[in-house]
C-alpha cells in the first residue's frame, strides 16, 4: 500500500521531470560560463578573436571615420599657431633646401668646369666664345659662375696655442681670436681622437662653408670658403698658402701681426683664384 507521501513523490516525478532536466542543463551552462570567465586564458581565447575583428574593422574605417576630424584639428591648430609652425619648420626645410640646391649646383658646376678648364676665360664675349668652342651651353657656364666659390677669410694660427697670428677677411665676422681658438680646439680634438692615423685635419664643412686647413711647421692657415669648393680651387688655395708661407719665412714676420696682415692683404689682392 502506498502512503500519502510516496504518492506525492511519484506525482512530482511524473509532473516535473522535464523541468528538472532543464534546470540541470542551465546549471551546467552557468558553471561552464563561470569557469570561462574566471580563467583568463579561456576568456581570452573566446574574446580575443572578437576584439581583433573589431579592431581590424576600426583600423579600416579610420580614414573615413577619423580622417576628417584629424584634418580639421590639424588645420585649426596650424591656423591658430602659424608662427610657431613656420618657426619650427623653416630652419629644417630651409637648410635642407639650401644644402640640396648647393650640392646640385656644385655637381653641375664641377661638370661644366671640367669641360671648360682649358678654354681661355673672360666675361660676356669670352664666355660666348667659350661656349662656342667648348660645346658647353652658355647658360650652363652662367650657372657655374653663379655658384662660384669665394675665399672669405684667411687666418694664420699658431699651432698648439691657437693664438691668431694674422688674418684677412672680406666680411665682418665674430671675434677672430675666438674663431682661431675654437678651430684649434676642434682640430686638436679630432687629431687626438684619431691619432693612430697620424694625419692632420684638413677641412671642416659647416653649413655652406668649407674651412680648408693647411698645416705648416709652427702654424696652420685656415681659409673659409663659401660656395662650391672644387678640387681645382683647393689646389689653387694650397698654392696660395705655400706662397704666403714662403714669404713669411723670407721676411721672418710670423710674430709681427701688422706685417703679416699686410702680406695677406697684398697677396689676396694680387692672387686671382680662377673660381672667383
Binding map of another protein across residues 145-164, x = CB under 8 A, - = no contact: -------------xxxxxxx
Positions 163 through 192 that interact with another protein (CB under 8 A)? 163-164, 175, 177-178, 181-182, 185, 188-189, 191-192
Binding residues for another protein, total number by CB under 8 A: 17
The least distance separating another protein from the CB of residue 222, rounded to whole angstroms, comes to 15
Query: Judged by CB, which is closer to another protein: 26, or 178?
Result: 178
Q: CB 41: neighbour CB atoms within 10 A? A: 8
Query: Judged by CB, which is closer to another protein: 167, or 228?
Result: 167
Query: Judged by CB, which is closer to another protein: 3, or 258?
Result: 258
The least distance separating another protein from the CB of residue 268, rounded to whole angstroms, comes to 22
Whole-angstrom Cα distance, residue 276 to residue 267? 15
Positions 190 through 219 that interact with another protein (CB under 8 A)? 191-192
Name the nearest CA neighbour of 275 among 109, 118, 139. Answer: 109
The least distance separating another protein from the CB of residue 193, rounded to whole angstroms, comes to 9
Cell readout for 91 is: 630652419
Query: Judged by CB, which is closer to another protein: 136, or 211?
Result: 211
Which position has the grid cell 677641412?
A: 203
- CB 164, CB 176: distance < 8 Å: yes
Query: Judged by CB, which is closer to another protein: 147, or 179?
Result: 179
The least distance separating another protein from the CB of residue 164, rounded to whole angstroms, comes to 7
Which position has the grid cell 596650424?
A: 78
Query: Judged by CB, which is closer to another protein: 232, or 257?
Result: 257
Sign of CA dihedral 70, 76, 79, 84: negative
Binding site for another protein (CB under 8 A): 158-164, 175, 177-178, 181-182, 185, 188-189, 191-192
Amino acid at each position: 500500500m502506498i502512503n500519502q507521501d510516496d504518492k506525492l513523490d511519484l506525482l512530482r516525478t511524473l509532473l516535473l521531470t522535464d523541468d528538472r532536466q532543464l534546470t540541470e542543463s542551465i546549471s551546467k551552462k552557468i558553471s561552464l560560463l563561470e569557469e570561462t570567465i574566471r580563467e583568463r586564458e579561456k576568456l581570452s581565447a573566446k574574446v580575443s578573436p572578437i576584439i581583433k575583428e573589431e579592431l581590424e574593422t576600426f583600423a579600416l574605417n579610420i580614414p573615413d571615420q577619423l580622417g576628417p576630424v584629424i584634418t580639421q584639428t590639424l588645420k585649426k591648430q596650424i591656423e591658430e599657431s602659424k608662427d610657431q609652425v613656420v618657426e619650427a619648420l623653416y630652419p629644417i626645410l630651409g637648410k635642407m633646401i639650401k644644402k640640396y640646391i648647393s650640392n646640385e649646383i656644385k655637381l653641375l658646376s664641377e661638370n661644366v668646369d671640367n669641360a671648360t678648364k682649358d678654354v681661355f676665360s673672360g666675361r660676356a664675349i669670352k664666355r660666348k666664345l667659350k661656349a662656342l668652342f667648348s660645346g658647353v651651353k652658355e647658360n650652363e657656364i652662367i650657372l657655374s659662375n653663379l655658384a662660384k666659390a669665394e675665399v672669405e677669410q684667411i687666418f694664420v694660427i699658431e699651432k698648439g696655442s691657437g693664438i691668431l697670428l694674422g688674418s684677412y677677411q672680406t666680411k665682418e665676422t665674430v671675434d677672430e681670436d675666438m674663431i682661431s681658438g675654437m678651430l684649434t680646439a676642434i682640430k686638436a680634438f679630432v687629431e687626438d681622437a684619431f691619432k693612430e692615423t697620424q694625419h692632420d685635419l684638413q677641412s671642416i664643412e659647416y653649413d655652406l662653408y668649407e674651412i680648408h686647413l693647411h698645416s705648416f711647421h709652427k702654424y696652420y692657415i685656415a681659409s673659409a670658403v663659401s660656395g662650391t669648393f672644387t678640387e681645382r680651387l683647393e689646389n689653387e688655395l694650397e698654392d696660395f698658402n705655400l706662397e704666403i708661407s714662403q714669404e713669411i719665412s723670407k721676411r721672418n714676420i710670423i710674430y709681427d701681426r701688422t706685417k703679416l696682415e699686410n702680406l695677406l692683404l697684398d697677396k689676396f689682392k694680387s692672387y686671382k683664384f680662377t673660381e672667383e
